[in-house]
Chains A and B, each alone.
Chain A
Amino acid sequence: MIFEIYIWVLSFISVFVALLWVIVNYTSKNYKIDNIKLKDLPFVTVAVPVWNEEDTIIPTLNSILHQNYPKDKIEIIVVDDKSSDSTFDVVKKFIKNGNYSNINLIRHKLNLGKAGALNTALKIARGGFFWVYDADSISSRNLLKNMITRFFEQGNSDVAAVVAITLIKNKGNWIAKMQRLEYIMAAFVRKLLGSVDTLHITNALSLFRTKVIRNLGGYDTGNLTEDLEIALKLRYNGYRIVMCENGNFHTNVPETMRKMWMQRVRWFRGFIHNNIKYRKFIFNKNFGLLGLFQIPIEVFFLLIVFISVIVFSYHFLDILIDFIFEIYIKRFGIFDFTYPGIQQLILNTNFKLLFPSTVVLILGLYLYLSAHDYVGEKWRFYIPSLLYLFVYPIFRSMQWVHALVLELFRAERKW
């Protein structure tokens, strides 16, 4: 009975949240209008933290250099965080061969992590805007200009960061394909968060006001998700974050289960750690909808995940044990059953589960299609879609539990 009630509560929450997103999507305005022409584009510092990126760094630098942006308004700072491969030499040779005077290469004597590398770049940055650019990313040509434009839109003087739509570069195997869907949905969710002014995350390609992040002390070294931390720090200090919906960038995602698992566990540990660090957001009306709804519901969902893992594991184990006994006792007799007629099929339907599941599935599909439409990607139903919709959530729940256990036992925070 407790399980049944739990399923009902869970279904109600799922229907509510799915409906909320549908309404937000329906009522939100589209920012894909390039109607602001800046006469004088500001100077931008592009910070590229690198660690063992010898294979990906050159296309990344080329992507920055090919931005449709005045060359004299960009400086690139590549910070090599004590790579053990030839990244440093590869970049050095690239600068020398291309005679790029606007690329500054710095080498750390110690590995300080991504946040440390970004702080190094931040210290010497000359630009009024600080573009964090992951070393395995390729952006569309007008992205920087479009991102900058958002800072100068009317009413955006309190915007301290602009984030871009992230899509994936490598689409080789099913693990990457599954993440492709995840990134599409994530971009869409960020758009929705942006429409109700609750966006509180930055990503691999985010543009900041240099002065603001410098005044706030820069990046938190040792933080597993420095991009989330800086975003929460900005929001905590009254700044806003907005999406740039014109253009996107492509980044690499892990192609093995192990690497993906470790990456997600790191992200989730970062989520837990940073939400504890910025717990004053929760139910704080000073932060508007972000404090009163968005962050509390994220924390609440985290609790739901943990409870669900326990409840469903117990229930699944119960069914599994019974099934094993049934097979053991009945042997092949387990396959002896008669097909029910239509009337029996309807009468045997478990409405308690079917009805909310169907509603959530329909709303989910609508959001799934809208997300594809939003990022301009073709949607199709293939095996990775099914895995993403029905199998991945199970893995994701286990990754959350793994992250929580590591945080509870204060396991070492390392990349």
Chain B
Amino acid sequence: MLFTALLLALVIFVAGLYAGFLLDSYRIGNADNSLLNKQLDVDSFVIEKDFFETFGAKDCSLLLNRVQALGGDLADIGNTLARYDAKSISHGDYYEVLKRKYFLFEIKTYTLKRQMIDICPDDESNIILFFYNVENNQYSLNQGYVLDNIVKKYKNTVVLSFDKDFNDTALRSFVSYYNVTTAPTIVVNFHKKFEGYTPEYLITQNLKE
């Protein structure tokens, strides 16, 4: 009886693991697909920007809106990735690859946004970099809640989040460029840097309405 129960329990667990593994693969596919679409969006935007620059027919409003939309979509993908990662049974390495891809897109979007400012200086939107860490992260979590509030109130604001300790060469250069040593750290509109937990009013003082 003991052996039968043990065997059945093992069978149930293996079945559960397999089902979880399948669901995980589906999640990976879903997230990968979102990132692939994002890559196409970024490529499309770069082509469009090059076209306007080459032929001198720039439409700042359109371009700025598009780059802003890219940032907003990325935030959604980031949240989804974090949720999936927390529930994953396997595929830990795949999630690391996806996260890496995601951070690189964010850097790319940030760079594009910076380039756009040079082309269209009358930009009225805001971009915030948010560097968090995963360990002992209550301050980072609280900073995230503050930024959620800001995004809700200031519709023209995009937040790009980065795990400051993530192991990627480009991200490390990025972190080093802004000299990020603590988490949370935020950078508002390319220049204004805040270290440690920053209350909402301090951030909003530096935002464009």
Q: Are A and B physically bound partners?
A: yes
Chain B residues with Cβ below 8 Å from A333 are 148-149, 152
A20 touches B23 (CB 8 A): no
Most chain A CB neighbours (cut-off 10 Å) among B5, B6, B146: B5
Chain A residues with Cβ below 8 Å from B84 are 347
C-beta contact mask, A334-364 vs B, less than 8 Å → 1, else 0? 0010000001001111111001100100000
**Which label, helix, strand, loop or mixed, suits the secondary structure of the A interface?**
helix
B69 interface residue (CB < 8 Å to A) = no
Cα–Cα, bound, A17→B148 (Å): 45
A15 touches B13 (CB 8 A): yes
Number of interface residues of B (CB under 8 A): 31
Chain A residues with Cβ below 8 Å from B20 are 351-352, 355
A19 interface residue (CB < 8 Å to B) = yes
Q: Out of A16, A19, A329, name the residue touching B149 (CB < 8 Å).
A: A329
A322 touches B141 (CB 8 A): yes
A16 touches B9 (CB 8 A): yes
Q: Out of A20, A325, A346, A359, name the residue touching B12 (CB < 8 Å).
A: A359
User: For window 5-41 of chain B, which residues contact chain A by CB distance below 8 Å?
Assistant: 5-6, 8-9, 12-13, 16, 19-20, 23-24, 26-27, 30
B138 touches A322 (CB 8 A): yes
Cα–Cα, bound, A329→B23 (Å): 34
A321 interface residue (CB < 8 Å to B) = yes
Chain B residues with Cβ below 8 Å from A216 are none
Min distance, Cβ B121 to any Cβ of chain A, angstroms = 33
B87 interface residue (CB < 8 Å to A) = yes
Cα–Cα, bound, A326→B141 (Å): 8
A27 interface residue (CB < 8 Å to B) = yes
B13 touches A356 (CB 8 A): yes
For the side of the interface on A, what is the size category? 20 to 34
B2 touches A293 (CB 8 A): yes
Cα–Cα, bound, A388→B203 (Å): 49
What are 22 of the A-B contact pairs (CB < 8 Å)?
A12-B13, A16-B6, A19-B8, A19-B12, A27-B1, A196-B1, A322-B138, A322-B141, A325-B141, A325-B145, A326-B141, A329-B145, A330-B149, A343-B30, A347-B27, A347-B30, A350-B86, A351-B23, A351-B87, A352-B87, A356-B13, A356-B16
Q: Which residue numbers of A lie inside 8 Å of B, CB to CB? A: 12, 15-17, 19-20, 23-24, 27, 196, 293, 321-322, 325-326, 329-330, 333, 336, 343, 346-352, 355-356, 359
Rank and list the top 7 A-B pairs by shortest CB-CB distance, nearest first: A355-B16, A20-B5, A351-B20, A16-B9, A329-B145, A19-B5, A350-B87
